């Protein structure tokens, strides 16, 4: 069978180009560190690689969200801790003012009382500034309000949150724009039946400011005169819990007087805990009964038998549950100069530390949750990056061997050209 020279030449050139193409593609894989340049080269592998890339892109977004959240929570914690210190300082100033008016001869002149009151008012303004903090273009204590200051002191007397007086509602969620904003951190963010983000599926980025600082008023404020209690004498009083129209729970509290007011306070608090079963109601240093029962009313009535009676009082003009408003009210009391009332109000302000402590605990728990998720996403990124390398990246040892083999084949093909391609007249021209 005769094979034409043209056919031999054509097949040779075709194979030469094919070998050169294979060698070139191998060089591309090595130099680009990629198994394929176009998805059409390896469709199935490219589709899997695209899914991995999308997952990595999502994880990078979650990681950025967590970094932002970490910054927000760090600033929020710093602000709340500063507020805790301000409450302590305000308490000390109130006690200083109360001691200066506790006797018939005042140790503080009116101008000194005015200076103390002005100082206390400045603490309220400082807390308002801390609660209006902006981080990452968000007013972190404003709920979803980013346009205006969340907290504002109107006419130097009334504190508002998102335009509504903080004493108007006892439920923090009733204030406008008070819902929190959230970010997606890869927990499968979903909406609940009301069209709001499910709190379990996302991370909270902003806070309800009045949930942190309090809102509404206590229905009544009750007192027990601790200094009038006699040592070793048994006393009793009725503690009624509940608002008008609700079921009133009544507890009979019995205790024995101690050596001083501190001992009396400890004895009463222990008796309340035993009867009620919680520490949400307690007596403070100056006889103020503070309750953390979400607006439920607390009243007391002396039921002591015998000649020794408790001096108790239920005040109708209730205290504000908001920290900023309470400090402004304390300044007004200092101006009025009633030492006994100032001391009682100091107790109330000090009791607001509980709300701050709860907020700090929530922030601390969420910060740990952020750290856990940052570690989780970092681990996932490492896993997916390894998978991406398997799908897209070149296996250097294997590809280098292939490149060497293809190079040898191409060189051998070139060497065969002398015996495959027919000689022409030009080969004989010297």
Following DSSP, what letter does each residue of 211-277 receive, concatenated?
Answer: HHH--SB-S-EEEE-GGGPPTT-EEEEEEEE--TTSPPEEEEEEEE--SSHHHHHHHHHHHHHHHHS
Question: Using CA atoms, how far apart are residues 71 and 370, in angstroms rounded to an integer?
Answer: 11
Could you give phi then psi for residue 376, rounded to 5 degrees?
A: -60, -45
CB atoms within 10 A of CB 269: 17
Task: Kindly report, residue by residue over 93-138, the tens digit of the pLDDT.
Answer: 999 888 875 444 455 677 888 899 999 999 999 999 999 999 888 8
Average pLDDT on 382-410 reads 74
Residue 429 has pLDDT above 90, yes or no: no
Between strands 234-241 and 298-302, the pairing is antiparallel
Give the containing element (helix H, strand E) for 135: strand 134-135
Give the containing element (helix H, strand E) for 152: strand 151-154
Cβ distance 345 to 284 under 8 Å? no
Place of tokens 């007249």: 425
Task: Tell me the β-bridge partners of 290.
Answer: 282
Residue 179 has pLDDT above 60, yes or no: yes
pLDDT value at residue 103: 47
pLDDT value at residue 105: 40
Task: Kindly report, residue by residue over 90-102, the tens digit of the pLDDT.
Answer: 999 999 888 875 4
Whole-number percent of the chain with pLDDT over 90 = 35
Place of tokens 């600033």: 75
Average pLDDT on 165-175 reads 90
pLDDT value at residue 422: 60
Task: Kindly report, residue by residue over 397-408, the tens digit of the pLDDT.
Answer: 776 777 678 777
- The residue with greater pLDDT, 306 or 26, is 306
């Amino acid at each position: 069978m005769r094979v034409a020279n043209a056919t031999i030449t054509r097949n040779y050139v075709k194979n030469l180009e094919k070998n050169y193409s294979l060698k070139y593609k191998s060089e591309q894989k090595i130099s680009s560190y990629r198994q394929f340049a176009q998805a059409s080269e390896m469709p199935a592998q490219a589709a899997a690689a695209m899914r991995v890339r999308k997952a990595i892109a999502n994880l990078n977004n979650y990681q950025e969200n967590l970094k932002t959240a970490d910054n927000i929570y760090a600033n929020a914690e710093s602000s709340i801790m500063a507020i805790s210190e301000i409450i302590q300082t305000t308490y000390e100033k109130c006690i200083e003012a109360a001691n200066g008016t506790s006797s018939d001869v005042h140790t503080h002149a009116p101008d000194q009382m005015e200076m103390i009151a002005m100082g206390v008012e400045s603490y309220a303004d400082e807390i308002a500034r801390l609660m209006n903090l902006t981080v990452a273009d968000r007013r972190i204590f404003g709920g979803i309000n980013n346009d205006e200051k969340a907290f504002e002191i109107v006419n130097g007397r009334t504190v508002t949150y998102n335009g509504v007086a903080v004493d108007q509602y006892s439920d923090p969620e009733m204030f406008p724009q008070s819902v929190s904003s959230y970010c997606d951190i890869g927990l499968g963010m979903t909406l609940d039946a009301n069209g709001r983000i499910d709190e379990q599926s996302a991370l909270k980025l902003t806070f309800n400011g009045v949930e942190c600082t309090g809102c509404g008023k206590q229905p009544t404020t009750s007192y027990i005169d601790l200094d009038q209690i006699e040592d070793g004498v048994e006393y009793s009083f009725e503690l009624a819990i509940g608002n008008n129209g609700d079921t009133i729970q009544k507890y009979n509290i019995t205790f024995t007087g101690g050596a001083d007011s501190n001992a009396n306070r400890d004895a009463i608090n222990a008796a309340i805990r035993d009867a009620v079963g919680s520490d949400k109601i307690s007596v403070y240093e100056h006889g103020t009964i503070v309750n953390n029962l979400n607006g439920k009313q607390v009243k007391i009535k002396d039921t002591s038998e015998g000649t020794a009676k408790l001096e108790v009082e239920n005040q109708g003009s209730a205290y504000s549950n908001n920290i900023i408003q309470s400090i402004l009210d304390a300044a007004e009391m200092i101006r009025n100069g009633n030492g006994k009332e100032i001391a009682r109000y100091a107790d109330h302000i000090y009791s607001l530390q509980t709300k701050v402590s709860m907020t700090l605990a929530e922030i601390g728990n969420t910060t740990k949750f952020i750290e856990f998720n940052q570690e989780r996403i970092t681990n996932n990124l490492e896993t997916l990056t390894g998978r991406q390398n398997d799908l897209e990246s070149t296996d250097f040892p294997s590809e280098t061997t292939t490149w060497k083999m293809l190079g040898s084949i191409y060189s051998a093909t070139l060497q065969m050209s002398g015996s495959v391609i027919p000689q022409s007249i030009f080969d004989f021209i010297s």
